[in-house]
């Protein structure tokens, strides 16, 4: 999931365009992008879209960011969008293990009522100081948690932390990546609000890739191509990974060298992961 395009749930005129885009995943937003008086209509529109033949035929990852657990919209959102085409529920402002488990229980109940066999995953947003402190526990809270995602606006703005400070951003990226890694999960980087700042988006995405992130959120179609380009393995990375795997197959045990670099188990595991991504992206 190199690129995850946000699509406002109240903007059905954008749905077909998003589906035709090069984004790996679509994230329909029922939360911040939708005003209070449009919530009910938005969830209905998204549910209808996910149930349509066009979306059923798509291979994109389908995500819906629902309203938070403490809002009156949470269960209504889930009830409107749960179906065989939904892959992940993006749970905002997660702050505890209890939040995750409550969402998982609601998902299980609705899935059972609709006869769904494949469990819908949870993408948990880390966007508060408490959520950040408990990120590792949140990642391990339930088997449905597939990954963690950073949310900088809610995390930084109330504290007066400069969103453009690379040192602060990379520290937060690393903290969330390590928390997810403790549970064996992936991480998706946050949105970048300045659509015109293409270089800023690329710089932040490159930093996230170096920290092991799977991909980055996109709030505009113009951000899809940079995300797809940055989060795919380079030809050099693929070639090196292939050499590592081939050498590992010939090694008699212990560490060995490839291109003058010492290689042991963690490097072999990473090489296999790179090749798996390369195969997936053809």
Tell me the pLDDT band of 157, cut-offs 50, 70 and 90: very high
Q: Which pLDDT value is given to residue 275?
A: 81
Render pLDDT for 246-269 as a digit per residue (tens, 0 to 9): 887 777 777 888 888 888 787 788
220 CB-near residues (< 8 Å, 6+ apart): 195
Give domain limits for the chain. Answer: 3-230, 235-280
Q: Which residues in 104-249 belong to E strands, given as ranges?
A: 121-126, 145-150, 186-189, 215-218
Residues facing 122 on adjacent strands: 89, 145
Q: Which residues in the chain belong to E strands, given as ranges?
A: 3-8, 25-29, 61-65, 88-91, 121-126, 145-150, 186-189, 215-218, 256-258, 261-263
Q: Which pLDDT value is given to residue 75?
A: 96
The two three-digit tokens of residue 119, written as one number: 């469990």
Q: Which pLDDT value is given to residue 119?
A: 96
Q: Which pLDDT value is given to residue 185?
A: 96
Looking at every residue in the chain, the average pLDDT score rounds to 93
Q: Which pLDDT value is given to residue 65?
A: 98
Q: Which pLDDT value is given to residue 102?
A: 97
Q: Which pLDDT value is given to residue 158?
A: 94
Q: What radius of gyration, in Å, describes the C-alpha atoms of the chain?
A: 20
Tell me the pLDDT band of 98, cut-offs 50, 70 and 90: very high
Q: Does residue 196 carry a pLDDT above 90?
A: yes
Q: Does residue 148 carry a pLDDT above 90?
A: yes
Q: Which pLDDT value is given to residue 96?
A: 97
Q: Does residue 239 carry a pLDDT above 90?
A: no
Q: Does residue 139 carry a pLDDT above 90?
A: yes
Q: Are 185 and 145 in contact (CB under 8 A)?
A: yes
pTM: 0.89
DSSP string, 20-33: HSS-SEEEEESSTT
Segment 207-233 mean pLDDT: 94
Name which residue leads in pLDDT, 106 or 269: 106
Q: Which pLDDT value is given to residue 278?
A: 79
3-state SS, one letter per residue, for 247-258: HHHHCCCCCEEE
Render pLDDT for 54-80 as a digit per residue (tens, 0 to 9): 999 999 999 999 999 999 999 999 999
Question: Which CATH number describes the domain made up of 3-230?
Answer: 3.20.20.60
Q: Which pLDDT value is given to residue 128?
A: 96
Q: Which pLDDT value is given to residue 263?
A: 81
């Amino acid at each position: 999931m190199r690129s995850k395009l946000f699509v406002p749930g109240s903007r059905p005129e954008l749905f077909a365009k998003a589906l035709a885009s090069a984004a790996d995943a679509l994230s329909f937003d029922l939360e911040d992008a939708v005003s209070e008086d449009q919530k009910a209509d938005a969830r209905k529109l998204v549910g209808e879209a996910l149930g349509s033949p066009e979306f059923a035929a798509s291979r994109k990852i389908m995500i819906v960011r629902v309203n938070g657990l403490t809002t009156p919209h949470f269960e209504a959102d889930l009830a409107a969008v749960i179906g065989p085409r939904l892959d992940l529920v993006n749970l905002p402002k997660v702050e505890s293990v209890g939040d995750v488990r409550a969402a998982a229980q609601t998902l299980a109940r609705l899935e059972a009522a609709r006869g769904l066999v494949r469990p819908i995953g949870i993408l948990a947003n880390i966007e508060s100081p408490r959520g950040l402190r408990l990120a590792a526990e949140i990642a391990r809270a339930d088997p449905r948690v597939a990954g963690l995602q950073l949310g900088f606006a809610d995390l930084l703005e109330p504290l007066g932390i400069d969103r453009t400070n690379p040192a602060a951003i990379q520290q937060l990226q690393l903290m969330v990546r390590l928390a997810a890694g403790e549970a064996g999960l992936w991480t998706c980087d946050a949105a970048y609000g300045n659509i015109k700042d293409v270089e800023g988006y690329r710089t932040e995405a490159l930093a996230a890739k170096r920290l092991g992130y799977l991909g980055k959120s996109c709030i505009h179609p113009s951000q899809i191509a940079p995300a797809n380009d940055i989060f795919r393995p380079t030809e050099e990375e693929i070639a090196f990974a292939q050499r590592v795997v081939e050498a590992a197959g010939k090694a008699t045990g212990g560490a060995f060298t490839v291109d003058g670099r010492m290689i042991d188990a963690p490097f072999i595991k990473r090489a296999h992961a790179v090749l798996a991504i390369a195969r997936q992206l053809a």
